[in-house]
């Protein structure tokens, strides 16, 4: 936001392919486009805060596109993970004050995007869910995603949530501090704008040095361990048992519809 009185709205990041993303899932193309769009906003020095929201009805983001991990082509799999690591590093360390306006479901990678933001407002519609549900898919979150949950809700709550793959309702998420406030669906965007103006009013240098206190070490750690994390991810995904679990999970999503 340039000032508390003007709220320019940016279009969604253009995707290079025509592949439809009906649930705002994060595929290679999306991760790259998101990071590029963020960098373009960061470069506009007059902008101090950014609201992340979704144009999908009832879904903030369905997390990583499971199809990127299902029977993957190894080179693309690595590109995909590198792009997702990049998205996290840019957003978590953004010079902008970032506000998540979570108007729908936000599992796994969607929850990561929300946790990267400085402030989270979720719709109070109880059927919407947010959390890191990776174990339910038979996979584990990478260390940096798990640690971000620890940073956000504390060690014991994160231990339970990661192990059980817990998805929280908005009121549960508020209780453990996974989101900062919940609002009626029609008020989420307006509240996000109010908070974006508040954050934009804090002097940038002071805001960013403060952000560094809790985030810089985490960002440096993944930067140093990026290759190791990539190998960890590729090894896990290529396991036969993991592929079977992903097949079953994708089928369960399809069956749910019938
Ligand atoms: N990836 C790919 N396709 C998806 C995804 C996804 N994440 N989510 C939904 N879809 C597909 C569905 O299969 C369905 O496809 P089709 O139309 O062909 O049948 C279509 O999108 C619409 O989905 P729904 O009908 O389920 O839509 P609803 O509005 O009813 O529900 C939900 C929306 C709640 C988001 C629901 O789709 C859902 O629960 N999706 C799965 C979300 C999920 O579990 N994501 C986790 C992804 S893993 C991740 O992000 C992190 C992994 C990091 C660690 C990796 C280490 C190995």
pLDDT for position 57:
83
Task: Please indicate whether residue 64 is annotated as part of the active site.
Answer: yes
- For the chain, which residues score pLDDT lower than 70? 1-21, 257-258
Percentage of the chain lying above the pLDDT 70 cut: 91
Task: Please indicate whether residue 231 is annotated as part of the active site.
Answer: no
Residue nearest to atom 55 of ligand 1 (CA): 141
Task: Please indicate whether residue 71 is annotated as part of the active site.
Answer: no
Task: Please indicate whether residue 134 is annotated as part of the active site.
Answer: yes
Round the average pLDDT of the chain to a whole number and report it: 94
Question: Is 45 touching ligand 1 by the criterion CB < 6 Å?
Answer: no
Alpha carbon distance 111, 22 (integer Å): 17
pLDDT for position 24:
93
pLDDT for position 7:
54
Residue nearest to atom 24 of ligand 1 (CA): 253
Question: Is 141 touching ligand 1 by the criterion CB < 6 Å?
Answer: yes
Those residues whose C-beta lies under 8 Å from the C-beta of residue 211, and which sit 6 or more positions away, are 93, 118
Those residues whose C-beta lies under 8 Å from the C-beta of residue 247, and which sit 6 or more positions away, are 70
pTM of the model: 0.95
Q: Where are the alpha helices (DSSP H) in 65-142?
A: 74-92, 109-116
pLDDT, tens digit, 9 for 90 and up, residues 3-12: 333 456 666 6
């Amino acid at each position: 936001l340039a000032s508390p009185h003007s709220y320019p709205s940016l279009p969604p990041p253009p995707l290079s392919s025509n592949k439809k993303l009906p649930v705002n899932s994060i595929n290679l193309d999306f991760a790259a486009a998101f990071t590029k769009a963020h960098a373009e906003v960061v470069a506009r020095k007059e902008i101090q805060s950014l609201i992340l929201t979704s144009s999908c009805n009832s879904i903030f983001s369905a997390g990583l596109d499971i199809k990127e991990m299902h029977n993957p082509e190894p080179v693309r799999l690595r590109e995909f993970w590198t792009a997702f690591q990049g998205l996290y590093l840019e957003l978590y360390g953004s010079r902008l004050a970032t506000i998540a306006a979570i108007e729908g479901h936000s599992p796994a990678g969607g929850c990561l995007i929300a946790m990267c933001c400085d402030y989270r407002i979720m719709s109070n519609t109880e059927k919407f869910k947010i959390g890191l549900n990776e174990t339910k898919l038979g996979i584990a979150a990478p260390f940096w995603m798990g640690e971000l949950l620890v940073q956000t809700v504390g060690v014991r709550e994160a231990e339970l949530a990661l192990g059980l793959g817990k998805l929280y309702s908005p009121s549960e998420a508020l209780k453990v501090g996974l989101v900062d406030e919940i609002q009626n669906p029609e008020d989420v965007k307006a509240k996000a704008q109010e908070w974006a103006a508040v954050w934009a009013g804090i002097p940038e240098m002071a805001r960013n040095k403060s952000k560094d206190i809790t985030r810089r070490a985490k960002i440096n750690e993944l930067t140093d361990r990026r290759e190791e994390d990539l190998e960890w991810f590729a090894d896990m995904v290529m396991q036969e048992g993991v592929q079977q679990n992903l097949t079953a999970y994708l089928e369960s999503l399809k069956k749910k519809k019938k």
